[in-house]
Each structure stands twice: as structure tokens, then as C-alpha cells.
Amino acid sequence: MFEKSLADLIRGIRANKKGEEDYIASCLEEITTEIKSNDIDIKAVALQKLTYLNMLGYDMSWASFHVVEVMSSQKFQYKRIGYLAAAQSFNKDTDVLMLCTNLIKKDLTSNKMYETALALNGLSQIVTPDLARDLIDDLLRMMNHSQPYIRKRVVVLLYKVFLQYPEALIMAYPKLKEKLEDEHTSVVIATVSVICELATHNPRNYLPLVPQLYNILSNCSNNWLSIKIVKLFALLAPEEPRLAKKILPAFGLLLEGTSATSFAYEILNSMIKSGLIKQANQALISLCVEKLKEFIIDRDANLRYLGLSALSELVVIFPKVIGAFTDIVLERLDDIDLTIRRKALDLIPSMVTKPTLIPIVDKLMSYLIKDEDEWFNNINIFTDKEYRSCIVNNILNICSKDKYANISNFQWYICTLCNISFVENIYNVDNVANQLMDVCIRLKDTPLRKFIMEKMIELLKNKVIFEKKFIKAGNSNVLYVASYLLGEFRNSIDIENVEDLLFSLTSSEAKELSDIVQNNYIIAILKIYIYWLLKSDFNESSIDAFKQITTMIMQKLQLFMNNSGIEVQDRANLVLEILNKIYEQYDPINDVDKDLIKSIDSLFDGELKPVAIKAQKMVPVPNELDLDHVINEEAQEMLNEIESSFADESRYFWMSRVINPKQIKEPTKQELREARKKREQSKKDNLFYLDDEDDEKPQNSFYEPDIDEIPIVKFTYDFGKINIILI
């Protein structure tokens, strides 16, 4: 008497939404008793319930013996419950699998076709090396089974068998070849599928099948089969150079003739992925390009996505081909599907050239500053940080490529970077700031420098960037760049703007900025102030301006001194003291005093230059430097020790001279672990021990020989021998 049928269980779970866990626990308890029942009806239903719960994530490995019991039932309806449970729950470590060999053998050779099929399906899920070895003879015999229904299963199952028991492949190969000619298409499909999987591991083995496969392909009307064969040819072609010549025209004809998109896609994709397309003639390449275009503009999102994916692999082979796609790929940036947009975005770097750069970047920019209310398919693009950051990265990458080679108008680029600084909802504002810094330092042209300075002053004065959201998101860190550049290249600032700039730098909003920005602000104030003193011609009437501005700055520096960051305070203090000294001692009308200012200005001398990655190599090695000279002899010996430990044999050899081998007791893993624990504990307890990760060298403390006694010089290796031993 069992308490619940499967339907009862499922209904119960649905009825107990709140106490589901408890309900299932009680059901599991019932199942545990039911499954031990002697009544096969009860046992099978219990197993079926358990399989259901297993699907929901509950363990059923404890019941594997009962699974075998049900599998061995005489009744088909129970057998299938048993096999289903086995397929779902057994893995290679299930110990009852050993009990299954005879059971499966019996079912395989059963005179009832569906029992055989059950066993084949089950075996495909649970086959182990042992099972494979024990059953291979039966399986090979069954490849000639009278029913195609069985033959196709055996063929596919064999692939799983080969994985577990590779020797079987040699035995099965002739029959597999035979099955390519089977009268039933489903058997041929199965055979080609298996060969296709096998060919991903070792394509060379299947080259002899080419004529047969070619025949099938030319006479084939089955879409599924054609796709598999095309895929297989793509795997084989790289192994045999002559194959491309034969197969490419066939591919061309098929591609032109087919109306099945999945087949057309397979031909395209296989040709691109295998590199076969490199050997195609112009006509075939254009056909591929046309087909790809059709995909990319198709109404079906899948085709658009797959088309773009294939295109991104095609551009790796033929970089120039992207020219034909520029417009349609750009259109995909507006796609309703974000995944497709992302794919299109990935393609952008490959299509940028000098003339197309500006329109492409402007288009990308338009997505960043588009209306907040724009919704696509229920996703507000404006809030999708990931996608927006991708766009920004894309802009930075395509512009900085090859040291900004594609940029013809740097004023435009600097404006663009400044604009991105105000873009919300992106992760990578810091990258933008870094690039702005990089590009501005590289640009030495005087009018451009002037332009940069104007732009930076604009940034500094823009109140928007001090808004809380921008400060929080890190956008304001662009002022780190602005303040630095203004200080460094102060000579390019128009002197009329300087007083105004000093006011901006000391505005009270500055205290909201992060410490690293404030640091740059303070130094910029000093640099620009000194520049102002040097460039201004003071006379009796304008001396007041000097006093006014100096005291103003001194007052405003208080702002920075209230900062809790020690570095900001320190810098503010330093600058304040310098200004104080100047205020007290400097007479702007007296030319002699100018030397003081000049000497301060000289502190900031020197020009920043970009350093090439390979620069270090260009530094010549000084003559007196001998890199081979031994600076520490002990270190040399330690190095030798490490080297010799690579070859176990040799270490053993000279070690044995030092220490009596009998005294060496190999420490067990457990002992080693304990020793290491102890050592780490004592390291931790030692206040004076500075932890150093490099400490973990492969030294064996048990073999600490007296280094002087090691007769390294006398020993000669025979490397040839050692190698042989090691192998």
C-alpha cells in the first residue's frame, strides 16, 4: 500500500508552496520505505517519485541499488522507469554500475526491440570504461541489427564508448565506414554525426572517407545530413590541402542553391571557421559576402546575431572586407536587441579608417548623450552601464589605436574626450581621464597647446562637474587631468586669463573633490601663481592687485588645510608658507627680487616625454657593467641547487654523498603539511618577520647540506642518459 502516486506528490508540492521543503522531506521519508518494498509496483512508483524530486535538486544517489532492481524488472513499463532513473542519477562513480553489466547485456540482446533501445539509451548515459570493454562485442554485432531503429542508436552510442574505451575505435572503424552506405537516412545521419565528433579530436584518421562523404553530399536531400557533412568537411580540409579545391566549388553551388538558412549558415560558418575561405575564388567570396549581408539585415534576430558573429571572424581573415559592411553594421547599433548591438560594437574597431573615424565616433557619442527617456524593448539604454561603458571603451580604443594614427583632428578629439567626461552611468571615466592626459601631453604643437589650455579652463569652470552625482561617479576626476595640465603647461595660458583661473582653482567647490584632485589643484595654484608673478608687469598702481590676489589665495588655501587627508594638508601648508614668504619679502616692482620668483619657477622645469615600451632595450649597457660577474657566490650555489633539483636523478646522486641515505626518511604529505603549518604559525607569531611571498621556494629543508662539501665541479653529467631515464 503506497501512500501517494506520482500525481499526488506533484499536486502536493504545488499545494504546499509555503512549506515545500517540509512537505518534500516527509515525502522522501515515505519513499525511503516504499522503495524497499518487495512489491515491484510500489518500488517502481517510489522510484519514479524520487526521480522527479531528483530533477528538483534532491539527492538520490542512496537509491542506486533500487534503481538496478527496477531496471531488472521483466515488465517494460518498470524497466523504463528504472532506466530513466539510472540515466538521471548514475555517474561514473556509482558503485552498483558493476552489477549492471549482465543486466544491460541481457537487455541489449533481448528479442524485444524496445528493451534493446532502452538499454542503448541508458548505456549512452552511464557507460564506463569497464562497461564499454565488456559490451563492445555485442555492440559491434548490433551494428548489423535488422532494425534501423536499433542501428542508428548503436552507432551514436559508439561515440560514447570510444570516449571511455579508445581501443574500440579501431575495431569499429570498418563497420562505421560501412554504415555510411546504410539504406536508412537516419543511420547515415547518426554515422556522420559520430564521425564529425571524432574528427574534432583527430581529423587525419577520417581523410580516407572523403570520397564516400563527397558522394553523400552531392546526392543528399536531407538538410540535417548535409549540415553535418559540411561541418565534417570543414574539419577535414585543413588536413589535406587538395581537398579545398574539390570541395569549395561544391560549397559554392550548395550555398547558391539552398533555401534553408540553417544550411546556408553552416556552409558560410564552416568555410570561415576552418579558414577554407582563404582559398576561395573571388566569385565565391562575393557570394559569401552577399549572404552574410542578407543575414545581418534579416528580420530574424538570430540571423542578425549569427551574421555579425560570422563577420567578426571573417574580418580576421580578410580585414578589408569590412568596408562592404560599414553601413549595415552601424545600423545594427540601433538594433532592438542589446546582444546584437554589442556584437556590432565589437566590430567597430575593425572598420575605422582615417576618414571614417570622426563620423563613427560621433555616432557612438550620440548613444551616450541621447535622451534619458529612450527605451528599447523595455530596457532603458540610458541606465545600462555595461553597454554604455562598452561604447566608451570602444571610442577610446579606436581613437588611440596605433598611437592615435587615425585621428586627423585633435581639437575634435579633445572636445570629444571632454564631452565624455560628462557622460553619466559609465564605469570607466578614469580611462577617459587617462587618455585625455596622454593625448594632451603628447601634443606639443603651440596652437594646439593653447587650445588644450582653453578647454581645460572651460572644464574647470563648468559647475556641472561639481554636481554630487558626478563627484560620486568619479567623473570629476577629469579635473585631476585639467589641473595638472594647466599647471604643467602654464606657459601656454593667455596671461589675461590667469587671474580668473586662479579664482577658479580656489573656488569653494574644490573641497568636494577627491584628495588626489585636490593635491593637483594645490600644486597647480602654486605653479600658475608663480607664472602670473613672472609675466605680469607690476607698477605702483597695480601693486594692489598683487597684494589682493596673494592674500585671496592664502585665505582660500585654508579650504584645503581643513581637508582630513594628510597629504592635502601638507601640500596646502607648504604652498601657504611659500606664498607667505613672497607676500612678506617680494617687491614686484623691484626687478632684483624677480630672481627669487625665477628660482621658484625653475623648480618646475623639465619636460614630460612619452616613453616607448621598448625604450629600455635602447639603453646601451655600460662598458664597466659585467652582467656575468658573480656578485654573491652563495647565491650561485643555491641556484645550482635549484637547477639540479629539476632533475631528480642527479640530485639524488650528489646528495647521497653528503648524507647517509638511511637517515633520510621521506616525510609523508601529512607531516609536510604539519611542518608547514608550524612554520607559518611561528612566522605569524614573530613580530619581526616580514612576510614575503617569494619565500615559498621549492627548497627541501630536510636536505640541508653543507654547501662547501658539495663537489659540484668534479661531477659531469651525461645529459643524454638522464633524459632517457626521465622519460
Partner 1 sequence: MINFMLLVSRQGKVRLTKWFNSNWTTKERSKIVKEVSSLVLSRRTKMCNVIEYKELKIVYRRYASLFFIAGIDANDNELLCLEIIHRYVEVLDRYFGNVCELDLIFNFNKAYYILDELLIAGELQEPSKKAVLRVIAQQDSLAEGEEYSVQ
439 binds partner 1 (CB under 8 A): no
689 binds partner 1 (CB under 8 A): no
Query: Tell me, what amino acid is at 247?
Result: I
In 619-698, alpha helices (H): 633-646, 648-658, 669-685
- Single out the residue of 570, 571, 590 nearest to residue 521, CA to CA: 571
Grid cell, residue 154, equals 548503436
Pick the binder of partner 1 from 114, 652, 717, 719 (CB under 8 A).
114
Distance in Å, CB of 385 to partner 1, minimum? 15
The residue range among 337-345, 348-356, 446-454, 620-628 that interacts with partner 1, by the rule CB under 8 A, is: 337-345
Distance in Å, CB of 133 to partner 1, minimum? 17
Pick the binder of partner 1 from 173, 224, 318, 538 (CB under 8 A).
224
Pick the binder of partner 1 from 32, 73, 262, 536 (CB under 8 A).
262
Pick the binder of partner 1 from 55, 495, 543, 608 (CB under 8 A).
55
Distance in Å, CB of 234 to partner 1, minimum? 9
Pick the binder of partner 1 from 71, 213, 227, 272 (CB under 8 A).
227
Contacts of 510 (CB under 8 A, 6+ apart): 517, 518, 521, 559, 560
Distance separating alpha carbons of residues 246 and 106, to the nearest angstrom: 47
| Nearer to partner 1 among residue 228 and residue 455 (C-beta) | 228
Pick the binder of partner 1 from 16, 37, 73, 121 (CB under 8 A).
121
Distances (CA, A) of 77 to 100, 103, 118: 19, 16, 11
Distance in Å, CB of 34 to partner 1, minimum? 17
Residue 532: other Cβ atoms inside 10 A: 21
Distance in Å, CB of 152 to partner 1, minimum? 5
Grid cell, residue 195, equals 564521425
**Sign of the C-alpha dihedral computed for residues 486, 488, 492 and 497 taken in this order:** positive
Site for partner 1 in 651-680 (CB under 8 A): none
The string of DSSP letters for 334-397 reads G-SSHHHHHHHHHHHHHH--HHHHHHHHHHHHHHHSS-TT-EETTEEGGG-HHHHHHHHHHHHH
713 binds partner 1 (CB under 8 A): no
Distance in Å, CB of 398 to partner 1, minimum? 23
Grid cell, residue 271, equals 568555410
Grid cell, residue 635, equals 647565491
222 binds partner 1 (CB under 8 A): yes
| Nearer to partner 1 among residue 259 and residue 590 (C-beta) | 259
Place of cell 581613437: 399
Grid cell, residue 91, equals 555517474
380 binds partner 1 (CB under 8 A): no
The residue range among 28-36, 285-293, 375-383, 567-575 that interacts with partner 1, by the rule CB under 8 A, is: 375-383
| Pair 655, 703: CB distance under 8 Å | yes
Distance in Å, CB of 300 to partner 1, minimum? 8
Distance in Å, CB of 121 to partner 1, minimum? 5
231 binds partner 1 (CB under 8 A): yes
259 binds partner 1 (CB under 8 A): no
379 binds partner 1 (CB under 8 A): yes
Residue 293: other Cβ atoms inside 10 A: 15
156 binds partner 1 (CB under 8 A): yes
Site for partner 1 in 11-50 (CB under 8 A): 48
Distance in Å, CB of 266 to partner 1, minimum? 5
Pick the binder of partner 1 from 159, 470, 521, 532 (CB under 8 A).
159
Draw the binding track, 528-547, toward partner 1 (x: CB under 8 A; -: no contact).
Answer: --------------------
Residue 237: other Cβ atoms inside 10 A: 26
The residue range among 65-73, 107-115, 432-440, 670-678 that interacts with partner 1, by the rule CB under 8 A, is: 107-115
Grid cell, residue 139, equals 555492440
Distance separating alpha carbons of residues 69 and 71, to the nearest angstrom: 5
**Based on C-alpha coordinates, what's the Rg of the chain?**
39
The residue range among 153-161, 596-604, 670-678, 682-690 that interacts with partner 1, by the rule CB under 8 A, is: 153-161
305 binds partner 1 (CB under 8 A): yes
Site for partner 1 in 60-89 (CB under 8 A): 61, 76-77, 80-81, 84, 87-88
382 binds partner 1 (CB under 8 A): no
Residues 310-320 as b or e (16 or more Cβ within 10 Å = b): bbbebbeeeee
| Pair 131, 101: CB distance under 8 Å | yes
Distance in Å, CB of 236 to partner 1, minimum? 14
The residue range among 24-32, 113-121, 279-287, 571-579 that interacts with partner 1, by the rule CB under 8 A, is: 113-121
In three-state secondary structure terms, 673 is helix
Distance separating alpha carbons of residues 163 and 106, to the nearest angstrom: 23
| Nearer to partner 1 among residue 105 and residue 160 (C-beta) | 160
**Sign of the C-alpha dihedral computed for residues 159, 160, 163 and 167 taken in this order:** negative
Report the length, in residues, of the chain: 727
- Single out the residue of 172, 103, 186 nearest to residue 142, CA to CA: 172
Binding site for partner 1 (CB under 8 A): 6-7, 10, 48, 51-52, 55-57, 59, 61, 76-77, 80-81, 84, 87-88, 91-92, 112-114, 120-121, 124-125, 147, 149, 152-153, 156-157, 159-160, 185-186, 189-190, 193-194, 197, 200, 222, 224, 227, 231, 261-262, 265-266, 269, 273, 301-302, 304-306, 336-340, 377-379
